[in-house]
Amino acid sequence: MAFVNLQNVTYQYPLTKTPALQNINLQVDEGEFVAVVGPNGAGKSTLCYALAGFVPHFFKGEISGTIEVAGKESSKSTLDEWVLNVGLAFQNPFNQISGAKYTVFEEIAFGLENIGVPREEMKSRVEDAMALTGIRDLADRSPYSLSGGQQQRVALTSILVMRPRLLVLDEPTSQMDPIGTREVFGTIRKMAEDGMTVVLVEHKMEWIAQFADRVVALKDGSILLEGKPGEVLTSDLLAENGFGSSRYTSTAREAKKRGLWRKENLPVTLDEAVEGFALTLPFSSPKGAPRGRGESGK
């Protein structure tokens, strides 16, 4: 049976009139890296909260269907037990700083102190986690003195250090530059290859295409489409439903209308776009040769 198993999950926040999640069926295998995309208000964050146990344990409200992770059922568990298996990091890094600690090292150790990890093991786990996300040099800084991107790395590390079996991330790199994003995605990818299951909400389609195994597209609380990143992210259904797409996809989609894109699939990443356009544009340089602006202009 799948490691993560959502069966007919419908959920409604208290004091609201429409369900935030409607009849969600989702299975994720152990070690799989699944990305979730969708427009604002599609229920992406709610899905994250449902996986991480906060829906319904924290938010109350009405839920039906079953949520299972690692063979345990959410409704039969308590939140404090659930978070031992499922880690959650979300977008706003400032609100994820516990406030109870003065240095980044202590901040990352906070979760381990709470769940009672012995001191020596705690220290080595914090060291390892910081090395993994590349923030060793921040160890003695105050979490409040960091940039947004650095704080996001600290937030991610603070969850990774707890070694969850399922990692739920809600736009964890929104304040990072492209280099930082690539590094963090590389780390997450590696964690997945080592057996950690990852569910990630993300807007940056190019990164999803490069790193995720599967994409789930949410719209109005339901799953609209799911499948391989290359297929889902370029599908016309998504474009028609107000999903954002990568600039390479939209460019190629326009190009296709004018007959300038001959491949069957649209690209998501820069490399795919270059490869595709190389087939149609007469002046483009052959594959492998340097692609400079000066050259293509000649």
Partner 1 sequence: MHERLSFHIKRDSVIHRLNPLTKLVLILALILIAFTFPWYWAPHFLLLLAIIPLGILGRVFPEFFKTATRLILPAASFLFLMQAFFQPIGEDVIFKFYFLDITQESLMFAFRNAMRVFVMVSAFTLFLLTTHPSELMSDLTRRGLPPQFAYVIISTLQILPQMQAKAQTIIAAQRSRGLDTESTFLKRAGSVLPLVGPLVFGSLVEVEERAIAIEARGFTSKNVKTSLYEIPDPSFDKFIRWSLLGLVILSIAANLWPS
Partner 2 sequence: MLEKIKNNFNTQTWVLIPIAIAINIAIGQIVVLLKLPVYLDSIGTVLVAALCGPWAGALTGSLSNIIWGLAVDPNALPWWPVAAMIGYMAGRMAQWGFFKEWWKVVVTGFVVAITAAIVSTPIAVYLYGGITASGSSFITAYLMQTGTGMVQAVLSTGFLVEPVDKITTAMLAFAIVLGLPKRMVGGYPKASQVEVSSGANQTQLYIAIGVVVLLVLFAAFMLRNILGG
99 binds partner 1 (CB under 8 A): yes
- Cα–Cα distance between 142 and 42 in angstroms, integer? 36
Choose the one of partner 1, partner 2, none that binds residue 60, judging by a C-beta under 5 to 8 angstroms depending on kind: partner 2
Two tokens at 218? 């949410």
83-118 as b/e, with b when 16 or more CB fall inside 10 Å?
Answer: bebbbbbbbebeebbeeebeebbbbbbbbbeeeebe
145 binds partner 1 (CB under 8 A): no
- Cα–Cα distance between 253 and 247 in angstroms, integer? 10
- Cα–Cα distance between 20 and 42 in angstroms, integer? 8
Closest to partner 2 by CB, 60 vs 247, is: 60
Report which DSSP code applies to 52: T
Choose the one of partner 2, partner 1, none that binds residue 15, judging by a C-beta under 5 to 8 angstroms depending on kind: partner 2
x/- string (CB under 8 A) for partner 1, residues 28-67?
---------------------x--x-x---x---------
The amino acid occupying position 288 is G
- Cα–Cα distance between 52 and 215 in angstroms, integer? 19
x/- string (CB under 8 A) for partner 1, residues 100-139?
xxx--xx--xxxxxxxxxxx--xx----------------
Closest to partner 2 by CB, 20 vs 67, is: 20
Q: How far is the CB of 158 from partner 2 (least distance, A)?
A: 16
End-to-end CA distance of the chain: 58
90 binds partner 1 (CB under 8 A): yes
Residues between 152 and 171 that touch partner 1 (CB under 8 A) = 155, 158-159, 162
Which of 68, 27, 90, 47 is closest to 218 using CA atoms? 47
Contact residues: partner 1, CB under 8 A: 49, 52, 54, 58, 79-80, 83-84, 87-90, 92, 95-102, 105-106, 109-119, 122-123, 144, 155, 158-159, 162
